[in-house]
Structure 1
Amino acid sequence: MQRPSAVNESPLSVAEREKLEAQYSEIATLAGGLAHEIKNPLSTMSMNLELLTEDLETLDVPSRHRMLKKVESVQRECKHLQEILDAFLQFARVGKLALTTANLNSLVSDFIDFFRPQANEACIEISPHFDADLPAVQIDPALFRQVLMNLALNVVQAMPDGGLIELQTSHRDGTVYLDIIDNGKGIDEKVKSRMFDAFFSTKAGGSGLGLPTVKKIVDAHHGTIECDSEPGRGTRFTISFPVC
């Protein structure tokens, strides 16, 4: 599997970029506010459902079990909506970066230490390959950790019977690269063409915001993310960041 080639696009002028960032900031603020307004009554509904469940459990009527099942069904839907709203708020908040000069090797290594217990539980081996002379980049460590987590969770879901994740860093021509490679089930062209679209998901109950959030974070760093995958042959995500 070869690293996907970057797509050449005309660079935006400073004025165009500032205008787009201002428009995005306004939309993100409105969307985030709306999500918060929905979360508040949803939390109240969830709390009242818990109280209703407690009341039903004290009843001694033939229909108690059936009523509890119905309430539990509504509780599951409320929890699902809560997860979607949380993912959406995370998606909407991406924009302002807390940049620091960092070495990608260190950030990736720290993440591997954090994620390894979960990988072990899923019977997934992690194999890092770091470029010893990797230049530093300007990056928001917390948001980059979010990128790694979202991609790693995708990999775990793609390998339900276990497998291998390789994380490789490299650099050339003023750009630092991180390749995340798995030997999972792969992705077909139809899904690959839409994987970064907001709310698109192939998973039952998925929010469809994990990979779009990853792309937004990478874009905010003026980086790129590409995917190379074939069904049955695994997947390679390549992320690039400009050198400081």
Structure 2
Amino acid sequence: MDSNLQPDERERLQAQTTELATIAGGLAHEIRNPLSTIRMNLELLAEDLDAEASPNSRRMIDRVAKLQKECLNMEDVLNDFLQFAKAGEPDLVECSLNDEVQEFLKFLTPQAEGRGVELRPLLDANLPIARLDPGLIKQVLRNLARNALQAMPDGGTLELLTMMRGGKIALEVIDSGEGMDEKTVTRMFQAFFSTRSGGSGLGLPTVRRIIEAHGGTIACDSAPGRGTRFTILLPVNQRAH
């Protein structure tokens, strides 16, 4: 959300965004119910066709399998959409960003090692307490790490750094991957924009929505062949001082 907006205008836009997210979340739930019914009936149909064991049933099974795959793709999009809708409503508690990063690294390490990616955390031991939603912050880390690993198909390094910067708590996520061109960087936070086939285009918009809901900002610096750096700035919890 534009920091140059007046407080009343910012509150009005925030209220509109929250209402839209609520409507979108309800719509996603309404779609999920009949989609689950379709999936269940496709499974039953596949079982019936498999029992026939005829050439015609084989062709029909292949068609049913394609429909099942499309249903799974739709469920993935719905899940991403629901995460986007919930991202603007954090449940804030006093906690350490370092603790959240360290816990996330335990989850990420096996996956990174399997892809030949070296994790390099550098966390400021004197980082002050912040007011965060731990679940949503981990979602931010998951989305950024997932993009980073996809950008390093032949391995590389992924750095996670915390520090103080300009009175804010800073988190940097830096990969040595393929990088992105200026056009992609400009559009990457737009909903449904994706450079990957099959991607929902909601991962990075969800990240930005979560960070802004925490009163923070996120920026990206990237170029083809020189990796990508995401910089997140979060407010310090003044009540903890």
The interval holding the TM-score normalised by the smaller chain is over 0.9
Distance 2:56 2:208 in 1: 50
Q: After alignment, is 167-176 or 18-27 more displaced?
A: 18-27
**What TM-score, normalized by structure 2, do the two folds share?**
0.94
**What TM-score, normalized by structure 1, do the two folds share?**
0.93
- 2:80 is matched with 87
- 2:15 is matched with 22
Q: After alignment, is 93-102 or 194-203 more displaced?
A: 93-102
Distance 1:228 1:173 in 2: 19
2:208 pairs with one of 215, 219, 224:
215
Distance 1:164 1:172 in 2: 23
Give secondary structure in 2 for the equivalent of 1:63.
Answer: helix
- Is residue 198 of structure 1 aligned with residue 217 of structure 2? no
- 1:12 is matched with 6
2:219 pairs with one of 206, 226, 229:
226
Alignment of 1:172-183 (within 5 A): 172-183=165-176
Distance 2:123 2:75 in 1: 38
Distance 2:46 2:114 in 1: 34
Distance 2:183 2:159 in 1: 25
String of CA shifts for 1:166-200, please: whole Å, max 9, x gaps: 11111033101111111000011111111000001
String of CA shifts for 1:75-99, please: whole Å, max 9, x gaps: 1111101110111011011222211
String of CA shifts for 1:15-73, please: whole Å, max 9, x gaps: 33332222122211111111111111111000000000000000132212211111101
Partner amino acid for 1:12? Answer: Q
- Is residue 120 of structure 1 aligned with residue 113 of structure 2? yes
Q: Which has the higher contact order (CA 8 A, sep 6+)?
A: 1
Give secondary structure in 2 for the equivalent of 1:146.
Answer: helix
Distance 2:191 2:210 in 1: 13
- Is residue 130 of structure 1 aligned with residue 123 of structure 2? yes
Q: Cα distance 1:108–1:12, how it changes in 2: closer, same or farther (>3 A)? A: farther
Give secondary structure in 2 for the equivalent of 1:167.
Answer: strand
Distance 2:13 2:170 in 1: 26
Partner amino acid for 2:205? Answer: P
2:233 pairs with one of 219, 236, 240:
240
Distance 2:6 2:96 in 1: 27
Alignment of 1:17-166 (within 5 A): 17-166=10-159
Q: Cα distance 1:175–1:11, how it changes in 2: closer, same or farther (>3 A)? A: farther
Partner amino acid for 2:130? Answer: V
**1:240 Cα shift?**
0.6
Give secondary structure in 1 for the equivalent of 2:131.
Answer: strand
Q: Cα distance 1:219–1:129, how it changes in 2: closer, same or farther (>3 A)? A: same
Partner amino acid for 1:10? Answer: N
**1:142 Cα shift?**
0.7
Distance 2:138 2:192 in 1: 22
Give secondary structure in 2 for the equivalent of 1:238.
Answer: strand
* Structure 2: gaps of 5 or more residues: none
Partner amino acid for 2:66? Answer: S
Give secondary structure in 2 for the equivalent of 1:24.
Answer: helix
